[in-house]
Structure 1
Amino acid sequence: MVKNYCLFLVLLFSGLLVRAQNVEISKDKKPNSELLGKLLNEYPDFKCDTVSANRNLSAIKNNGNPGFQVIYKILHAEEISNCVDKINSQSTHLFENAIKQSEKISPELETVANISYAKYLYKYRSMERALPYFMKGSHLLETNPVEKQIRPQDSYKWLGYYLGTIGDSDASKDALEKAKSLTRNKHAEYATILDALGRIYLEREQFDNAEKYFEEASRVAKKVNDEMRYAKAIGNLSVIYAKRGETSRAKKLILEDIMISERLSELQNTMFAQTLLGEVLIQENNYTEAETVLKKALKTAQSKSYFQINEIKIQQLLTEVYRNQNNREAELHGFKRISELEHNLKKTDGDQALNNAHLLMQKSKLEQANKEAHYQQEKSAMLRNIYLGLIFFSLVLAGFIFANSRKKLLNRELMYKQKVLGLEMDKLKFEKKLSETQENLDNQVEFLKNKNVQINRLKSEIEKIRNSKSFYLEEEQGHLSKLLESHLMTDENWENFKREFRKVHPEFYNQLQSEFPDLTDSNYRIILLKKLDFNNTEISQLLGITTDAVKKSNQRMKKKLGDRYDELAQIISKP
């Protein structure tokens, strides 16, 4: 039965190639976009059957038309990468040659070549390498008529996937909406795009909108008999139900997702669904079953190098299970593995917030470069057609002023974002260092001293920004002000500090409680910090109040305690 089906596919595709070869296309003419798109869409997956693949690829290669040569290289590269299931030198060489050749033929082929290479890099989690090719493809899509493009819905779809992965949610939604508008609503691809749009709303926690998209995706997938897309859609629906606390309803959908994925031998989606099931079981405090199902997902995650980002998620859930099972050894092993994976992913996956920020900054630069390149092309065309020097000069001058002004604005924003990112990195590094060292009073004091240094630095940066031409960025976005607020003494930080203080100064603390029962929590904050030689300025910065407010608080305390205030002062100053 399977052999007959494969033979049918080969004969069907061979017939397609014969028809393609019989189309009268001169080598000097641009190839038909519709025909090239059909070749890409209908090329069968030979599952590493190199004999069949080579036979069909040869038919395309021998066509002689330059456009067919580009399509041949794209399909050959994809065939090799699908078989070896990793980034490899042969595929990379073929994709790069396809791009180089396509540049001499047409923007439509250049778009497909760039997006195809970017898809290949994205599939194997080489996020940074994929970025310039996705951006080039995006630029070509936007600057050339859509009706001339080769399967533009596929290009927009993958562009949307990538932009969503690196955190550009709005751009991702725009690309997916364009893909949706170009796709027939009774086609399996339509369900795929609906599902992707649903995930954007899910990430934004707009659950009602997300639910509508997932339900519509599942209906379309079922109607066109696309079981895998149906499984993914109901799996995504289960996330919404789990977040609403409807765990029984969520589990039912996840188990159906797993059943379909296992039957279709879709390892990746099975792993995703098993991870979701583990989360729901943890939510129900069913740690034994959660451990079992998460270990199954872990086995799949460890089978492919490009699943490492998924393994991090699974390991995090398992450490939560082990913590609740009081299995300290397994929990520690999990943390070590997570740390190892995060180190490995720094150069590839881009899933961490800092890597995303880096990719988004690069995206902005590439978009600007593409706009500049497009501007130069338009300028060249204008130079060929304009004879009056005065008009030409005026237009060029206007364009230069606009570009220069735009560049300055972008540079200011980039410098502002880099400044914010650097200060956030400093904060994260120090807090991580504190979490990795033993919690004691000396560390707490060092932590608070460092906070004061960072607060002073932030205040200085805010003042510089306000006195510069970039003042509007802080007024509009307020990132530095928000970061300043995050440095203030939180309730959690206060409780940690108070706990370590009591360990070192138990007699002092007990004396305060017994002899001065009228003291408030805000009084304690000032007293304990004074005991550790923090001055009024440092105290005001940590508590987010003015120095005058600290002085007034002391005055109110003095009024409340009366003669006992001097006794309190002596206790504080006592070594």
Structure 2
Amino acid sequence: MRNFASMLKLFFVFVSATLLFVSSFGQSDTILLSAKVKELKALSYSNPLEALQHAEPLLAECSQAGYSKGLAEVYNTQGIILYTRGLNDLALQSFINALENFRLLNDTIGMSLVYNNLGVVSYSVKKYYYSIFFFQQSLAIQSRINNIRNVIDLNNNIGSIYEKLKMYNKALSIHRNANAMSIKYGHLVGLSTGLNNIGVIYENSGHPDSAIWYYRKALEVSDSVPISQLALTYSNLGRTLMNNSRIDEARICLDSALLMATNSEATSYLSEIYNLFSQYYDKKGDINKAYKYLLKYKDVNKLIEDQTTEGDFADFILSMQQNKWSKEKKLLDNQVSLQQKVQWLLVIVIVVVIAGFFLVYLNIRNRNRLLDQRHKLSESESLRLADELKNKEIIAQLEKEKLTSELQMKERQLTSMTMHIVTKNETLQEIEKHVEQIASGNPEKSAEMPLNKIKSIIRMNAGDEAVWNNYFYHFEQVYPGFFRQLTNLHPELTQGEQKLCAYITINLNNKEIAHVMGISEASIKIKKNRLSKKLQLDIASDLTSYLRKFTDGE
């Protein structure tokens, strides 16, 4: 047991060490990728093209390692580089990919950052309502985390969009709220931006004096404000003054704008400033200087265009697009192949289904044929059975009629035999009566005559046992089991009472029974009454109907 416990402990130690090693390996891999992402961000400021070239392989590494945060940040950096180069469509796709990865991480701050970038891109391509939507999404997140500076900056961005849409009142309301927050929380950059934007609103809405006042107020807040932003405000103020014939004041503002834009390398602002200088000298009548600044204006514009279309950068974008097209083509080929497989599978399924239906049809048809055959066979069998039953009924009827006829014949024979016995006994009784008359009329001669012997012969024939046995045999032929059933139910009956029952059964009257049995009719009545009592019948009951039950086998 101790050895087992020790082995178990060693096993757990080994598993824990393995998990720790795997965890530390994954963690070190993530740390390495995180460092590469930071290097990419730094490189994007100094050498955007090189940073863009490193972005694709770094995306592949992050994807392989499952490092979603790295994917999100690289996509966001890639989008910023593409946007600054004027490739808004590609930038938009990169920002969307970044947003999806930040959503997977539930990183609201990262999502807010990307929403802001999407708003900037939408603003650049003049999709102002989309821009408002993205800025508002970012604003909602920044408001939840109470990042006041970002809330102010986003409000200023949204106000600028409403100014572009010429919804000046709404834009003014947003900027004034942003300025109030900037003053409350000491956000000077936000305050300067808000004042400058209000100046733009008044300038574009035909209120130059108010615009000049707000531009000057924006310039008063110069502490901590980037000089590139101050260059923009001086440029706006110079343009407004020059449009209102305050040319000398405009020149001072334009000089400040040119100095600050040059020092901050704000090339996009230089284009507008050179254009304003060209207009200024044109108003002064100095055509040479006006032409000189017009050429500078064109050179700066060309430089900006060259930055977005320079050879290496364009080649890289083309290769990136080709890779994208190659992936899309491969995906499309896979989809076509899959679609063909699905089509073949569908064809096979349809063929199998049709074959299945055909087999089911054949099965149903064969089964219906078999059922029809069985039905016909059943009908013929039913007809045969019906005919057979009918024939049996006819045969049974004939047999019944035959039995009835035989029974009737036997009953007639029995009746005839009975009547013969009755007649014989009546004759014998009549002879006995005459013999007695002779004996009583000639008593002297009767002793000489064998009259007593004659009487003895008569009595012997009247009660002959052989005659009764013959009668019993014929009675059993007509009514089989009569005496057996009668004696089983009434074992106390004597042989004479059984004979009486037989005579009553064949409907002999008292007189006929008396002749058969060789006794008087009165004696028969007495015997019937005694028999009724033994059979537990009322005196008035019909003995015949009761005894007839034994002829039916009941």
Give the TM-score normalised by structure 1: 0.47
Query: Over alpha carbons, which structure has the higher Rg?
Result: 2
Give the TM-score normalised by structure 2: 0.48
